[in-house]
Amino acid sequence: MNERIIEIAAINPVHIFGVNDVNIDQLRKYFPKLKIIARGNNIKVMGKDEDMDLFEQKIERVVEHYNTFSTLTPNAIDRIMDNGLVEKISPAVLDNDIIVYGNNGLVVRARTPNQLKIVESCMQNDMVFAIGPAGSGKTYTAVALAVKALKNKEVKRIILTRPAVEAGENLGFLPGDMREKLDPYLQPLYDALNDMIPPEKLASYFESRVIQIAPLAFMRGRTLDNAFAILDEAQNATEGQMKMFLTRMGRSAKFIITGDISQTDLPKHQPSGLIQASRLLKGVPGIDFVTMDSRDIVRHKLVTSIVNAYDKADKEKKKEK
Each of the 321 residues of the chain gets a pLDDT tens digit; together they read 789 999 988 788 898 999 889 999 999 999 999 999 999 989 999 999 989 999 998 898 888 888 777 778 887 788 788 765 445 555 544 445 678 888 877 778 887 888 889 999 999 999 999 999 888 889 999 999 999 999 999 999 999 998 865 434 455 555 565 556 667 777 888 889 999 999 999 999 999 999 998 888 889 899 999 999 999 999 999 999 999 999 999 999 999 999 998 888 888 888 999 999 999 999 999 999 999 987 777 666 677 778 778 878 877 777 776
Are residues 149 and 278 both part of a single domain? yes
Write down the pLDDT at residue 251.
Answer: 94
Contact 23, 77 (CB under 8 A): yes
Domain around 39: 2-83
Same domain flag for 114 and 224:
yes
- Say yes or no: 241 and 134 in one domain: yes
Whole-model pTM over 0.75: no
User: Residue 95 has what pLDDT?
Assistant: 47
CATH for 13: 3.30.1370.10
pLDDT at 167: 38
53 with 112, same domain: the answer is no
| HSE toward the beta carbon, residue 12, CA cutoff 13 A | 7
Task: Return the pLDDT at 209.
Answer: 94
Q: Are residues 41 and 132 in the same domain?
A: no
Tell me: do 108 and 78 sit in the same domain: no
Work out the number of other CB atoms within 10 angstroms of the CB of residue 199.
10
How many domains is the chain built from? 2
CA distance 175 to 105: 37
Is residue 194 within 8 Å of 144, Cβ to Cβ? no
With a CB cutoff of 8 Å and minimum separation 6, the contacts of 198 are 103
Strands 35-39 and 127-131: unpaired
Last residue within a domain, chosen from 83, 117, 145: 83
Return d(Cα 24, Cα 30) in angstroms, integer. Answer: 10
DSSP bridge partners of 162 = 215
Tell me, yes or no, whether 176 and 296 share the same domain. Answer: yes
- 64 and 8 both lie in a single domain: yes
155 and 107 in a common domain: yes
Please, are residues 316 and 308 in contact by the beta-carbon 8 Å criterion? no
Among the three residues 83, 108, 129, which one is the final residue of a domain in this structure?
83
What pLDDT, on a 0 to 100 scale, did the predictor assign at position 87?
52
Same domain, 195 and 99: yes
Instruction: Identify whether residues 310 and 223 lie together within a single domain.
Output: yes
Cβ atoms of residues 261 and 286 within 8 Å: no
Q: Are residues 35 and 145 in the same domain?
A: no
User: What is the predicted pLDDT for the residue at 247?
Assistant: 96
